[in-house]
Each structure stands twice: as structure tokens, then as C-alpha cells.
Chain A
Amino acid sequence: MTTLPQSTRTKLGLVIDLDTCVGCHACVISCKGWNTENYGAPLSDMDAYGAEPEGTFLNRVHSFEVKRDTAPPMVVHFPKSCLHCDNAPCVTVCPTGASYKRAEDGIVLVNESACIGCGLCAWACPYGAREMDGVEKVMKKCTLCVDRIYNENLPEEDREPACVRTCPAGARHFGDLADPESAVSQLVAARGGMDLMPEQGTAPVNKYLPPRPRDTLTTPDLASLCDSAPEAATGFLGWLDRALERL
């Protein structure tokens, strides 16, 4: 169904905190592990032990450096997977209906048994969220762990995407971004959550929380914190004596 739903009942998605992500790749590998065993075809690794290993990953962490004029450069670790866009261009281009956006929760999925492996959806995605599997020759993408989040065989607390469950720093949050009261929506509101490439008109569901301001420490000088400057009058020893008397 390559037409997009008019609206979805919920908008499930991720909120990724760039202030907190340490770039450890935990989400990358837990995603690889879960999705090799679950939804659709396994994620293959071509030339796995060779000179040019190249596998399918649904989530990858980039590292950027930001140079600033008056402050030290920053390094920002940047996980990226499917943003489950409201206006998903990858869905509408699909000739077979394999790509679709679920009406109930907005998750963008590939029905692999209908995928002819033309690759057009990957071209249509500005974010590089889709990768053709080298062995299976079908398009793979983040499923938002659709086979976890509703899975009655999992304990309730585990019904979240594998990447969120595993993130050691808690930099990934999962929830309904259509509900302004949800924890993720609140986080987006409080921290200025942003869209990636808004100019592409994709209306991504996933949001990114920008890094908090860095290198802003300008505490007043120590002297202003002192009740009585220890070096005054009697020097350090005098201060020490007075301080000891007060104990």
C-alpha cells in the first residue's frame, strides 16, 4: 500500500538525545542481533572476515565535529535509523506495495515477500535509512521492533525497541509522539527536539534532542565565594586557626 495513510492513530517513534549519546554503538549491535533473528530476512554480512566486510545495519552511529568560533570544538555522536516520517517518500515510490506505513501506529515497514529489490525507496529516503541486504536482496530497514513492542511473549517492560532497551546511557527514548502528554513528547518540548532535514518535507516522527550548551562554565572567581579571604591579615594560618575554632 504505497499511498500514505491520511493520519495514524498513534505516531510511535524514537527521541534521540545528542546531549547524552556517547557513541558506543550498543544500539547498532543490539539492532543487528535482534533483526538477524526476527522480522524478515536475517541481516547478512558479506565478506565477513575478509578485506572488505560489508553487512546490513538498520541503525548506524556517525560522529561529527562542530567547530565553533569562540569555544572549543565539540564532538557529537549521532545515531541514525529510520525516522518513520509522516510524509515518507520511500513509501510512495514503491512499485509493489512492499513499503508501507502502518495506519495504526505510523511505523514504516517493508513487506519483504513483496519486495522486488529495486532500491528506489532507498533512493527516495534522504536519511539513508534503508539498506538492501547483500544476500537476501530485499530492502531492510528499522521496524521500530514492531515484533517487540506489542509482543505478548515479552514481559511488558521489554516491549520497546531493542536499541532503546540496550542503550546504556539512556540516550534513546521510545513512545507516542502524537500524544502531547507522552514522556517523549514532553522531552521534545522541554529540550527543543528537532527534525532532521526539515527542508526535505518528510515530516519525520523521530526527533533529536540537541546537545546542551557546552563549555559555558563561568563560575565567579573563588575569591567571591570566600567568607573571609584566608590570605587576608593573618594569612592562611590565621584563617585556619579561626576556622578550626569555629568547628
Chain B
Amino acid sequence: MHPAPSLILFTVLSGAGFGLLVWLGIGLRAPTGVAAFLVFGMGYALAGAGLLASAFHLGHPERALLAFTQWRSSWLSREAVLATATLAVMAPHAAGSVFAAAPMPVFGWLGAALALATVVATAMIYTQIRAVPRWHHWSTPPVFVLASLAAGALFVGRTGLALGLLLALAVAMIAHWVAGDRQFERAGSTMGSATGLGALGRVRLLEPPHSGQNYLLREMVHVIGRKHAYKLRLIALGFGALLPALLLVLPASYVGFGLALMSHLTGLLAQRWLFFAEAEHVVGLYYGKR
């Protein structure tokens, strides 16, 4: 799949934002006044920026309201509904914290649940897509959820929690890669099954339908070198989970948390880039791209 910057940014930033809101919602930190304004602001800003980035991905953002209608069947619609609901439900809690030093835990807990559900919905948008076998696996949501919660934990500066989540994220990322590398074969789609000609012999593409580019190739067929991918996996794992974890076991400091957060987000950008770039869509079979 084409690693679109808008989608990478969206999933990383909004994931971090909703993760932060989860922890703020359940009152893991309960700042008030300016401090509350800053941390809630950060959560809202990240979640909002992510949503905004995703809007850039749309051909017709002016019709975006329609995306709230299909929550019964569509994970993308659910995500939109949940994200908006999170921000709305969390608002009294946030406003109370900022302006009245009076957090409203009912809204907080409810908002946290919604925030978590939003991240799950985001992950499910990808997980549900059977045509991308690497995504279509139970390991996809844990990566999204753990990354989100870990970022949130780093924001709220809870060392133990963050450490645990980062290590869990490392395990989840590895699991996602290891399983993902086998997913295409497991899905069973081949040029033979795609064309129905497999029983006749070995199928290969002779000529693509058009000599030039097309939307499908640009959007869904992205070929990435194995070596390149391996390097990026190390970066994702190192910066996204292991390095921040290491920083956390060092004596606690704001600088340490800051660095851990920066590292985590950097690593996550690499992870997300790979998440798209390594994901092979079965349509590539029709173009001899595997």
C-alpha cells in the first residue's frame, strides 16, 4: 500500500492524542488550571490534528459529515463517530479541570472508554481489509492500541505504565511483523487464484492493461526492498519501543520523558510507514507485483 504521509501522520498523532485522553479521562493524572489546559489541550490538539490530517486524504472533505451515518457497518464511520464523541464527552471533564479545578470523572471515564474505542476503530479500519492480508490479522489492533496508550503514558509521565506498555508494544510489533510476513501465503491468494488460470500452469504477467500508471498501482502497489524494510523495522522497534523504554529506566527527568516521547513518535512514524509500505494488496497479483 502507498504510505501516504497524511495517513501516517493521522494514525500516529491521533493515536497519541487519544491515548493521552484515555489516561486523562480515567484520572491517572488530574491536573487543573493551566497544567490541565496544556495536557488536555495537547490531547485535543493531537487528536484533532490527526483528524484534520485524515481529512486531507479525502477527495471531498466538504461531505465529511456523511461519514457519521454508517456506524452500523463501517469501521471508518465508527471511527468518525467515536472520535467526535470522545472529544465531546471528554469536554466537560476537560473544561471542569481547566476552569473549575473540578474534573468530572463520569465524563472522564466515559470519554476514556470512547477514546480507547476510537483507537480500536482506527485499527479495525485496516484489520478488516481482507485484501491486505498483512493487516487482516489479530495483531493489528494491539499494535495500534498499545502504541496509543504508550504515547499517552509518556505524555502523562507514568514511568512504570509507559515502560510496560512500550515493552508490550515491542512484542506486539514483532508479532505483527512475524505473523504479517506469513499472512499473504496464509491468505492463499496467488496469481493462479486471481486469474483462475493456476490449474493450467505457472501464471505470470505478460503485459499490464495499460502501459502507464493508474490509481490502483499508485495507491495499492508499493514494492519495498527487503533490506530496506529490515532496517526500518529496527528503527521502528528501537526508536518506537526499546530506546524510550531504556530512557525510562534511567533516572526520571523531564528531559528523559521528552526524549522518550520524541523517540517513540519517531519510531512510530517508521512503524506506520512500514505498516503501509509492507502491506501487499492482493490486487498486485493482477499486475505481477508480489
A and B touch in the complex (CB under 8 A): yes
A residues contacting B by CB (< 8 A) are 2-3, 18, 28, 52-54, 56-57, 60-69, 73-76, 78, 80, 89, 92-98, 114-120, 122-128, 131-132, 134, 136-138, 194-201, 208, 210-211
Chain A interface, >50% SS class: loop
- Identify the closest chain A residue to B80 (Cβ): A95
Which residues on the B side are within 8 Å of A198 (C-beta)? 193
Could you tell me if B215 and A131 are in contact, using CB atoms closer than 8 angstroms? yes
Which residues on the A side are within 8 Å of B216 (C-beta)? 122, 128, 131
Q: Does B283 contact A (CB under 8 A)?
A: yes
Number of contacts between A and B (CB, 8 Å)?
197
Docked complex Cα distance between A196 and B61 (Å) = 34
Could you tell me if A96 and B1 are in contact, using CB atoms closer than 8 angstroms? no
Q: Contact string, B196-230, partner A, CB cutoff 8 A, digits 1/0?
A: 11011111111111101111100110000000000
Could you tell me if A95 and B70 are in contact, using CB atoms closer than 8 angstroms? yes
Could you tell me if A124 and B131 are in contact, using CB atoms closer than 8 angstroms? yes
CB-CB under 8 A for A66 and B203, given A53-B212, A123-B131: yes
Which residues on the A side are within 8 Å of B70 (C-beta)? 2, 94-97
Segment 69-89 of B: residues with Cβ below 8 Å from A: 69-70, 72-77, 80
Docked complex Cα distance between A120 and B77 (Å) = 11
Could you tell me if B206 and A128 are in contact, using CB atoms closer than 8 angstroms? no
Q: How far is the CB of A43 from chain B (nearest CB, A)?
A: 11
Q: Does B113 contact A (CB under 8 A)?
A: no
* Residue with the greatest number of chain A CB neighbours at <10 A, chosen from B129, B191, B193, B200: B200
Q: Contact string, B103-133, partner A, CB cutoff 8 A, digits 1/0?
A: 0000000000000000000000100111110
Could you tell me if B206 and A116 are in contact, using CB atoms closer than 8 angstroms? no
- Identify the closest chain A residue to B191 (Cβ): A64
Could you tell me if A210 and B196 are in contact, using CB atoms closer than 8 angstroms? yes
Could you tell me if B202 and A93 are in contact, using CB atoms closer than 8 angstroms? no
Which residues on the B side are within 8 Å of A63 (C-beta)? 205-207, 209
Which residues on the B side are within 8 Å of A126 (C-beta)? 130-131, 189, 281-283
Could you tell me if B204 and A124 are in contact, using CB atoms closer than 8 angstroms? no
Docked complex Cα distance between A195 and B192 (Å) = 12
Could you tell me if B214 and A54 are in contact, using CB atoms closer than 8 angstroms? yes
Q: How far is the CB of B97 from chain A (nearest CB, A)?
A: 32
Could you tell me if A62 and B73 are in contact, using CB atoms closer than 8 angstroms? no
Q: How far is the CB of B190 from chain A (nearest CB, A)?
A: 9
Q: Does B177 contact A (CB under 8 A)?
A: no
- Identify the closest chain B residue to A214 (Cβ): B200
* Residue with the greatest number of chain B CB neighbours at <10 A, chosen from A123, A127, A199, A200: A123
